[in-house]
């Protein structure tokens, strides 16, 4: 019996918690590189789906973790006021300019943050319906899954009263070239016929729909939609879990899209790999009832100390600007690459959140699903780790750490160029990707 890390992983870890696109093994990691079992280094252009915001082994995160452990590792904010939890809450309130009368709730993941928002706004407003988008991914718990619209979550229990609307995709415009107007007219129609807006508690928005295909909405669409909802007393939730905190080249992705949310949720990158999430929401929602949303270890000193360090390093190390600059470098390189590779149908994104939609034919735009899996695998073989997203699983995605350097961006572009060329030339077989189900 083999005792390799992959074999031990297959025998011991549940498949329901795996999303594998390559035979990657991880012994340890440093900076923006993963070190495999055999010592090979792999440039991580995924950052664990955006979670490793500052890369791996960052001195500031290591120090914050040590400090949190030394102070009171097992304490939480549930039974008493905890210095690091209060301080991180204050930092987040200062970071969200719309948060005049807001408070903060801490969790462990974006899933529990969005799940808690659902329960709290229902209790606070008395409204029981929600709105979200087709293709959305808001988490992996029953509540947050029930307002998602990603194909991977079709096994989730359906939520009664959920209203889902199309996310306007400029590359595949629904209803003609003015997709945004088509969707807004659809919402107006729903509000005047099939749906009583006074029954809807909240609209969940990913300002950049990442898992749905890294879709960038038409300019002004989300602002117009948010205004419509707010006029009906519907709370607007900006899910910044994957695409916020500097990644889009600004602090918050909703800022790039020009709308003002009532509620903001954070996760993934807030802890740069350490589990911590947060809700920033009005007091009327956050104080709806004492002991309403308890998780024993939330607000602990390790997670909240790390969260403070992450925000500090984003600010002090100029990582928002770096995301914008490196994002432009990647986008420019990919657009140039599009001219060489017929497989590339579209390149889109903001900052260091970029999608490369692959198609079999640029005229028909038939999704190149198998080819996307092959490109991801070939990149891994060549020393760069990425994943793919999209409703048809045909969009290789780049969400690297915000600490990405110019040389690393150039390295990633060179590997992508070769990988796409190799796949187009038939150098990656169907058998090679058969073992990796992806999603």
Cα–Cα distance, 330 to 351 (Å, whole number): 9
Asked if residues 68 and 304 have their Cβ atoms less than 8 Å apart, the reply is: yes
Classified as helix, coil or strand, 257 is helix
H, E, C per residue of 51-92: CCCCCECCHHHHHHHHHHHHHHCCCCCCCCCCHHHHHHHHHH
Known active-site residue 137: yes
Q: Interior CA angle at 429 toward 427 and 433, to 5°?
A: 125
Query: How deeply is 262 buried, as exposed, middle or buried, from its count of CB atoms within 10 A (0-12, 13-18, 19+)?
Result: buried
**What H or E segment, with its residue span, contains residue 373?**
helix 369-381
CB of 106 closer than 8 Å to CB of 78:
no
User: Measuring CA to CA, how many Å separate 152 from each of 115, 125, 137, 408?
Assistant: 18, 31, 9, 31
Quick check: helix, strand or coil at residue 125? helix
Q: Which of 335, 325, 334, 350 is nearest to 406 (CA)?
A: 325
Beta bridge partners of 351: none
Report the SS3 class of residue 433.
Answer: helix
Residues, the chain, total?
439
Catalytic pick among 56, 137, 254, 388: 137
Q: Just list the catalytic residues.
A: 137
């Amino acid at each position: 019996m083999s005792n390799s890390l992959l074999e031990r992983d297959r025998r011991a870890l549940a498949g329901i918690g795996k999303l594998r696109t390559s035979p990657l093994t991880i012994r340890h990691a440093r900076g923006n590189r993963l070190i495999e079992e055999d010592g090979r280094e792999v440039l991580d252009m995924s950052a664990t789906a955006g979670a490793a915001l500052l890369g791996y082994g960052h001195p500031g995160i290591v120090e914050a973790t040590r400090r949190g452990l030394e102070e009171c590792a097992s304490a939480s904010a549930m039974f008493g006021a905890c210095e690091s939890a209060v301080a991180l809450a204050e930092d987040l309130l200062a970071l969200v300019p719309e948060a005049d009368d807001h408070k903060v709730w801490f969790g462990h993941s974006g899933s529990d943050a969005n799940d808690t928002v659902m329960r709290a706004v229902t209790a606070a407003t008395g409204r029981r319906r929600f709105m979200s988008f087709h293709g959305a991914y808001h988490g992996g718990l029953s509540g947050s899954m029930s307002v998602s619209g990603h194909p991977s979550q079709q096994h989730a229990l359906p939520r009664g009263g959920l209203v889902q609307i199309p996310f306007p995709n400029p590359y595949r415009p629904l209803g003609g070239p003015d997709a945004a107007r088509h969707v807004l007219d659809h919402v107006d129609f729903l509000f005047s016929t099939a749906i009583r807006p006074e029954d809807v508690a909240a609209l969940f928005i990913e300002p950049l729909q990442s898992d749905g295909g890294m879709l960038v909405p038409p300019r002004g669409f989300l602002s117009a939609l948010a205004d419509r909802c707010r006029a009906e007393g519907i709370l607007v939730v900006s899910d910044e879990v994957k695409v916020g905190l500097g990644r889009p080249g600004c602090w918050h992705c909703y800022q790039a899209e020009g709308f003002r949310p009532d509620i903001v949720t954070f996760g993934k990158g807030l802890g740069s790999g350490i589990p911590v999430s947060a809700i920033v929401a009005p007091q009327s929602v956050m104080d709806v009832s004492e002991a309403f949303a308890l998780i024993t270890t939330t607000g602990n000193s390790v997670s909240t100390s790390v969260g403070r360090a992450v925000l500090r390093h984003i600010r002090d190390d100029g990582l928002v600007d770096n995301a914008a600059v490196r994002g432009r470098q990647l986008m420019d390189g990919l657009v140039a690459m599009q001219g060489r590779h017929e497989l590339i149908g579209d390149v889109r994104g903001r900052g260091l959140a970029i999608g490369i939609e692959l198609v079999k034919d640029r005229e028909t735009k038939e999704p190149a699903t198998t080819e996307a899996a092959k490109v991801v695998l070939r990149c891994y073989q060549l020393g760069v780790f990425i994943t793919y997203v999209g409703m048809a699983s045909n969009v290789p995605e780049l969400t690297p750490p915000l600490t990405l350097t110019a040389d690393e961006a150039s390295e990633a572009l060179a590997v992508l160029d070769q990988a796409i060329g190799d796949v187009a030339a038939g150098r990656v077989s169907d058998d090679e990707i058969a073992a990796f189900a992806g999603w």
